[in-house]
Chain A
């Protein structure tokens, strides 16, 4: 039997059982679509998170925090406001450094308006932060040393918040209330080109660290972050910083840990790829179930058509001809399901990516793998029934009812 004949016969057979063929195809399509969409969304998300983190600073970035691996947390003795200045002076490896007192959720509102309170993250910090985090100012200025020493009631807001609070006006010089403390807006940051934080609506306000501590009524500094003079100096910068901190805070015997951007990226990469693998595995199980569906259909087809197989053998079909026909039907179902699943999966990945504002990362490999897998499922699950069908003696098969 040549290929064109085979295709025609397979097509005529499948068309005769349209409903059954369609349902089986859907089963496979769901599995394939799931795998492709999950992997694409997962990889896209991973890429976005990584680019977000990369945007936080250069490859020179590092931060020092209490050693939370050993269960330590920051208290008022862990860091002091002067630490960054002293570390910069003592360590030639450290270029810029700022301390951060974090108010993870503060209320921001316009004066005389109790409504429209916006939730934001408050960063109480030093002037160096703008360099450490690679931020840039769109209007006005960032925090200055004078602001820090004089507890100035000033605030720098991000572009999103400026949009929210002052859609039509220039925010510079205006008063806003942060945790019910009136602050003057002295600067607006440039809008970050990304998206992920916008999507989650996390707004940022930056104040002098001294002012933030007054507002939050705390002396706790959560972490120090800084940059090294060069990538080679990064380990030196971290170990110097930790040594200086340990000697300066020896009375409380704290231990510190330093993290580089690289390490953070690695961690995020690990977490997201584990997530992708897990969800991918679930989708893979869906695919497997679809495959068992194909095998079931093929078994039914073989049992139901045993007589027909006997007849085909009587007409001169060889074992190979019977195998080809049944395998052909199974592969056709899976391939069709695979193509539909591919289209739906890619479409789905694009739709999710569009909604979540991140680029869909559909790798050719995922698609090839999914299609290849569907064909293999067809071959694998078609093989057993087909081989069973082909090994019957024609008389035996013809006696079958």
Chain B
């Protein structure tokens, strides 16, 4: 499903150039749950951005679901992110001015889903993450764990192929972290492909594969048998 080879990313140019990725090769198959670990500055977040089509690589090949991502126009990438990819961020990144329901509706609006169907779908998703009673609250009125659950509902809005998560529990206490990871596990069991960046080993332990980054390269990989 995901196939990258020789992926490099350089920020800036000349003497000030920073090599964030120095040639990464990786295959991720459908339904996999991959954790990406490494010290800060190792390039793991840049790698996730490129996989999530939020940024273009400086060089290298990237095939997602059989399509050559490098050849796509900006609008085609936007469509791809909208319909095939879902994102969960460390700082939740909810829209502060809109209520919870509207936040989950946003990807559906961009996908052109008509109003009634959209609200129904958003409501279902929020019920699935246990927030069916908070539809009209603003994000600031929710706890961190609740906000991240809204973000997960939003990531699932268009039933994407892959969920990308960048330190999804980084801003949460251990109890909320546990709840969030249970949701990830539920998604994984339902067959969703997940790529998650983290620096906490016990969070990475939920994944089936763990990839270690250092200085812009994959230095080690551990695969586990199906958990529990």
Contact = CB atoms under 8 A, between A and B. Distances in A.
B98 A1 contact: no
A355 to B, nearest CB: 45
Contacts of A17: 97
B95 A395 contact: no
Given A1-B109, A5-B109, A317 B49 contact: no
Nearest to B166: A398
A311 B78 contact: no
A16 interface: yes
B111 A316 contact: yes
B7 to A, nearest CB: 14
Contacts of A398: 54, 89, 93
A316 B79 contact: yes
B42 interface: no
Nearest to B74: A319
A308 interface: yes
> For chain A, what secondary structure do more than half of its interface residues adopt (helix, strand, loop), or is it mixed?
helix
A394 B107 contact: no
Interface string A1-43: 1101100010011011100000000000000000000000000
A318 interface: yes
Given A12-B102, A13-B97, A395-B49, A318 B78 contact: yes
Nearest to B151: A311
B107 A316 contact: yes
Nearest to A14: B97
Given A12-B97, A12-B98, A308-B95, A314 B54 contact: yes
Given A315-B106, A316-B83, A317-B110, A395 B93 contact: no
Nearest to A1: B109
A315 B75 contact: no
A318 B83 CA distance: 13
Contacts of B96: 16
A314 B112 CA distance: 16
Interface size class of A (residues with CB under 8 A): 20 to 34
Contacts of A312: 106
B93 A311 contact: yes
A321 interface: yes
A315 B107 contact: yes
A318 B81 contact: no
B82 interface: yes
Contacts of A232: none
Interface string A282-324: 0000000000000000000000000110111111111111000
Interface string A207-218: 000000000000
A314 B55 contact: no
A394 B110 contact: no
Nearest to B157: A315
A395 B110 contact: no
A307 B91 CA distance: 11
A21 B56 CA distance: 37
A319 B54 contact: no
A393 B9 CA distance: 14
A18 to B, nearest CB: 11
Contacts of A317: 78, 82, 110
B87 interface: yes
B52 interface: yes
A316 B49 contact: no
B154 interface: yes
11 contacts: A5-B109, A9-B102, A311-B95, A313-B54, A313-B78, A313-B81, A315-B82, A316-B79, A316-B82, A316-B107, A317-B82
Given A16-B97, A17-B97, A319-B74, 19 more contacts: A1-B112, A2-B112, A12-B98, A13-B97, A16-B96, A310-B54, A311-B95, A314-B52, A314-B87, A315-B106, A315-B110, A316-B82, A316-B107, A316-B110, A316-B158, A317-B110, A318-B79, A320-B75, A395-B55
